[in-house]
A and B are shown apart, each in its own frame.
Chain A
Amino acid sequence: MTGVTASTSVLVASAPVLSAQAGYVMLALFSVLWISLGIWWGRRAKSYDGFAVAGRNVGLALGTATAVATWITSNTTMLAPQFALQLGIWGALAYSTASFGLFAFAPMSGRIRRLMPTGYTAVEFVRRRYGLLGTIPFLIISIFYALTWLVSMTMAGGKLLNVLSGIPYEVGMSVVIVVCVLYTLFGGMYAVIGTDFIQSLIILVGLIVVACAVLVKIDLVDVHEKLSTNRPMLLSVLFPAALMSLFNNMFFGFGEIFHSNVWWSRAFAMRDGVGPKAYALGGFLWLPVPIVAGFLGLAAPALGIGVSEPDTVGPMVAATLLGWGGALLVFVVVFCSLASSIDSLLAATSDLMVNDIIEPIMQHHPTDRTKRNLSSFCIILLGFFSWSVALPNVGTLATVLFFAGPMVGSCIWPIVGGLYSRRANAMAACLAMVTGSVCGLIAYFTIGWFVSSLVGAAVSGAVFGVGLLLSPADFDFDSLSVDGESKKTPANDPQAAGEMA
């Protein structure tokens, strides 16, 4: 990963501020709380619809909160300060552009709900819209992204708990993933969305308290002065890498939200008419979070706080400045932001596995009970996979996360075109995803992470546009609402057309 590295280390906060005992107590308290809530809400999840999409009746309060909480990942609380530390003010602003994805998805969520009132996943849409040709690259990208995100969150859990309280990486990481697996297993989407509300409140309040406490200890004038003297690039309006990251992050955000089943499953779960409002409001609520978190990163050089690992700069600043109380607050905020993302990923990815991998392989439609059991099995499997990959603790968070950037960036146009244009066709969608991903990955390795999503989205958009011009389809959007594999009529899919005949 390119960019400025944290080289000044006047005051390296290497020892954990919170005692391991306090860490274990907090971990135990929140683990019991989330699992209890999972069991409590799980009583509502009697059918597969209840378990997978919370009965498709989620209101505005929980809908807005789940959009905010899911998008505030531990990467927001860890990477936004790192962005600010390495790329300056533009870095924090670049991270906040990820909220544009929520704004853009707001109208899309309403259309998704209208077009597929009984749908479950994003891949299901692509399968009905583009047939097998579009499904294969999209499914690969979706699964790769979901697993990458899941593993990076699990790793973040172990790292953060270790930095803050000295709990061994392996123990912290294991507890985080096991707790999330357990409450998702008991409560499904009800538990995921219900806990998201509590978690979003805790995260927002925690961030406000930590940032205010830091502001009490240091003056913004000092921060600005010291940055101007020691790290002027962080205040530069024309910082090339930072400017590139601004657009890159925005496209990464679009790609992540447009393609990921985490967001689609919420669109299916929200009551009719709630989705557009919830996603737009969620965007407004999320927008300031990376700036507040990024401020902690900007404060680090001004305070002379050096950090051995840049992605832990935010928590280290809070813990070093505010001592035990700050560490405790950050501990809670981080645990909530981790849980809110991991549970969403477990639920949404298990839906993908059941509806888009297992069900198509089976020769008959499984019963409601069978699907529920399969979901539970997939959640456990995903948890175990994530745990086993995260255990060796290889690679930095940013490297793991941004590797998926160009791939999800290449999904933007096929999804938008597929939702809104009759002319979008399967070949164009497939080629757009493949060429966008390949070119984006080449840019990732030859230029840097900060242009990879941008290149992926640009190449994919060009290929998709040419495909639409050369071979326009005439898709019937009504066919998307038809329930059942045998009744679907994907455009430009000879195989499906043959099956129909």
Chain B
Amino acid sequence: MMFPLWLLRVLVIGALVLCSMGVAVLIAFLISDLKNKKIW
């Protein structure tokens, strides 16, 4: 039994989307912490 093509697609594309969201989340947190002066 083999992994189907659609699963490979979901994994690769899904992982790329999650990575992109990660970048956005980190920048959003940085801006929020900067505004609240809670960086350190």
* Chain A positions within 8 Å of B20 at CB level: 208
Cβ A237 vs Cβ B11 within 8 A: no
| Secondary structure call for the A interface | helix
| 8 A Cβ contacts from B4-31 to A | 5, 7-9, 11-12, 14-20, 22-23, 25-27, 29-30
Q: Which residue of A lies closest to B9 (CB)?
A: A220
CA distance A215 to B25 in the complex (A): 24
Cβ A212 vs Cβ B40 within 8 A: no
* Chain B positions within 8 Å of A211 at CB level: 12, 16
Instruction: Please judge, given known A-B contacts A61-B33, A236-B1, whether A292 and B16 are in contact too, CB under 8 Å.
Output: yes
Indicate whether A135 reaches chain B with its CB closer than 8 angstroms.
no
Q: Which residue of B lies closest to A208 (CB)?
A: B19
Number of residues in B with C-beta < 8 Å to the partner?
A: 28
Cβ A287 vs Cβ B18 within 8 A: yes
CA distance A232 to B33 in the complex (A): 49
Question: How many Å from the CB of A100 to the closest CB on chain B?
Answer: 15
Q: Which residue of B lies closest to A298 (CB)?
A: B8
Cβ B1 vs Cβ A208 within 8 A: no
Cβ B2 vs Cβ A61 within 8 A: no
* Total A-B Cβ pairs within 8 A: 109
Question: How many Å from the CB of A453 to the closest CB on chain B?
Answer: 24
* Chain B positions within 8 Å of A205 at CB level: 23
* Chain B positions within 8 Å of A58 at CB level: 40
* Chain A positions within 8 Å of B11 at CB level: 89, 92-93, 291, 295
| Secondary structure call for the B interface | helix
For A276-292 the 0/1 string (1 means CB < 8 A from B) is: 00000100110111011
For A27-59 the 0/1 string (1 means CB < 8 A from B) is: 000000000000000001000000000110111
Cβ A204 vs Cβ B40 within 8 A: no
Q: Which residue of B lies closest to A65 (CB)?
A: B26
CA distance A58 to B39 in the complex (A): 6
The 22 listed contacts between A and B (C-beta, < 8 Å) are A57-B40, A58-B40, A59-B29, A59-B40, A60-B33, A88-B3, A89-B7, A201-B27, A208-B16, A236-B3, A284-B22, A285-B22, A285-B26, A287-B18, A288-B19, A288-B22, A289-B15, A289-B19, A291-B12, A291-B14, A292-B15, A298-B8
Q: Interface of B with A (CB < 8 Å)? A: 1-3, 5, 7-9, 11-12, 14-20, 22-23, 25-27, 29-30, 32-33, 38-40
The 10 lowest CB-CB distance pairs between A and B, nearest first, are A288-B15, A61-B29, A285-B22, A291-B15, A288-B18, A59-B38, A61-B30, A59-B33, A235-B2, A61-B33
Q: Interface of A with B (CB < 8 Å)? A: 44, 54-55, 57-62, 64-65, 68, 88-89, 92-93, 190, 197, 200-201, 204-205, 207-208, 211-212, 215, 220-221, 223-224, 228, 232, 235-238, 271, 281, 284-285, 287-289, 291-292, 295, 298
